[in-house]
Amino acid sequence: MTHLALMTQHLDQIFVLTSHWLLSYLPIALQPLCSAILSVAAIIIAFATLFALTTLLERKGLGRMQNRYGPNRVGPCGLFQPLADGVKSLTKEDIVPIRADRAVHFMAPVLLVAASFMGYAVLPIGRNMVMVDMNAGVLFFFAIGSLMELAVFMAGWSSRSKYSLLGAMRAIAQMISYEVPLVLASVVVLMQAGSLSTVAIVNMQATYSGIWPHWFVFTPWGFAGFALFMIAATAESNRSPFDLPEGESEIIAGYYTEYSGFKFALFFLGEYIGMFATSGMAITLFLGGWSAPFSFLTWIPSYFWFFAKLLTIISVFIWIRGTLPRLRMDQLMNLAWQFMLPMTLLNLLTTGIWHFMLPGFLRWIVCSTMVIVPCILLGSGLKYKKKFQIRTYHFSQ
């Protein structure tokens, strides 16, 4: 029994142990630097592979939702399609507009990818598998996340094209608007956990009463917070139905209209990596990070659970993309400021009440009511306020 327990423990820590074993061959002075390089390389390889897998998964999933096959030509079941896409984007001509600011034009996609990868520094991927256990990890994550907006604006500005600039403006407006509910939705967890450290937040959730875990999503305020966080994360990563900065079918690519070849692919990579990072943060904050969903499943390695949860969230993202039509700009802003913001603020209050009420049935009822009733009232109120009328188009008649 103890032998089995030791084995599962070793399997759980296999990457940590391997890293320690590799580093033990180096002189002490070099070890911190090499440890960092090793972790960075591992994160980049793992998540770039996940990116490649996701592009394929997304195309196949969307295809199936539209009763198509999706890519099935390159390799068995189209498995090498990401490779073919990569080769294609590498061999394409890299066009830079003649009047563009070349330096900024080049730096924008690089910054985007770098910023989106930096968030992973504080994400606990498994037990003891976090690159930096910062005591202000969540704060660091959102600070780095806002660098992506800068990259987007650099792309739009440096292209010196009115379409790129307008696209960047719209993207910035959207990203900043949704940054507010994104951060406010995650504040409830910080209130409850009393810590900004991602590792501490996950450790708090990785305990069980009976077989049930103490994930924050299994509380009224946690569930509301998770839902709001995911909506804001969708908008933040410019994904459908909030993908109007890119709007593939209407405006060609928004702020990266003037990008081609591998730089375009870098934007693509950056967006997906950013999406994974935000999803990873949602998992850390609400879904118990690397902890197993039931106490009897803890023998499965912790990193498996993290990636299983991540893939589930990605699948839901794809499902949503296959279902919902794109929002209009005014609908997007109304949703952010009229619905998301009041709901997140109210959720803060709910969390406070939950914290100060005694554990028991009553606080469940009170807090659930505080989440559900305003949601319905606000939703139907906004719907009621909307006037439906026959539109007249003056110039087309």
| Binding stretches for another protein (CB under 8 A) | 61, 64-69, 319-320, 322-324, 375-376, 379-380, 383
Q: Which is nearer to another protein, 19 or 315 (CB)?
A: 315
Q: CB of residue 180 vs another protein: minimum separation in angstroms?
A: 21
- Smaller CB separation from another protein, 134 or 320: 320
Within the chain, strands assigned E span: 208-209, 212-213
CB 374 to another protein: min, Å = 11
Degrees to nearest 5, angle at CA 315 with 330 and 238: 30
Give me the least distance between CB of 325 and another protein, in Å please.
9
- List the structure tokens of 265: 């692919």
Closest approach, Cβ 334 to another protein, in A, equals: 14
The residue (of 275 and 375) whose beta carbon lies closer to another protein is 375
For residues 103 and 108, give the distance between their C-alpha atoms in angstroms, rounded to a whole number: 9
H/E stretch holding 333: helix 329-334
b vs e for 286-323, b when ≥16 Cβ sit within 10 Å of the residue's Cβ?
A: bbbbbbbbeeeebeebbbebbbebbeebbeebbebbee
Supply the minimum distance, in Å, between the C-beta of residue 341 and another protein. 17
Which residue, 188 or 375, has its beta carbon nearer to another protein?
Answer: 375
Distance between CA atoms of 306 and 284, rounded to whole angstroms?
9
At residue 352, the 3 state secondary structure works out as helix
User: How many Å from the N-terminal Cα to the C-terminal Cα in the chain?
Assistant: 82
Which is nearer to another protein, 70 or 245 (by Cβ)? 70
Count of other CB atoms within 10 angstroms of residue 75: 13
Instruction: CB nearer to another protein: give 194 or 379.
Output: 379
Rounded least distance, CB 266 to another protein, Å: 30
**Nearest distance from C-beta of residue 49 to another protein, angstroms:** 24
The phi, psi pair for 229, rounded to 5°, reads -60, -45
Burial of 240 (0-12, 13-18, 19+ CB in 10 A): buried
Pick from 340, 308, 163, 376: nearest CA to 242? 340
176 vs 316, which CB is nearer to another protein?
316
Q: Give the integer Cα–Cα distance in Å for 73 and 90.
A: 20
Q: Residue 369 or 380: which CB sits closer to another protein? A: 380
- Helix-then-strand count for the chain, H and E: 15, 2
Nearest-approach distance from CB 386 to another protein, in angstroms: 13
Distance CA 300, CA 302 (A): 6
Q: Judged by CB, which is closer to another protein: 179, or 243?
A: 243
Nearer to another protein, 13 or 81 (CB): 81
**Could you tell me which of 329, 324, 369, 312 has the C-alpha nearest to residue 346?**
369
Q: Which amino acid is at 120?
A: Y
Q: Which pair of structure tokens corresponds to residue 165?
A: 């600039």
Supply the minimum distance, in Å, between the C-beta of residue 336 and another protein: 16
Q: Tell me the closest approach of the beta carbon of residue 380 to another protein, in angstroms.
A: 6
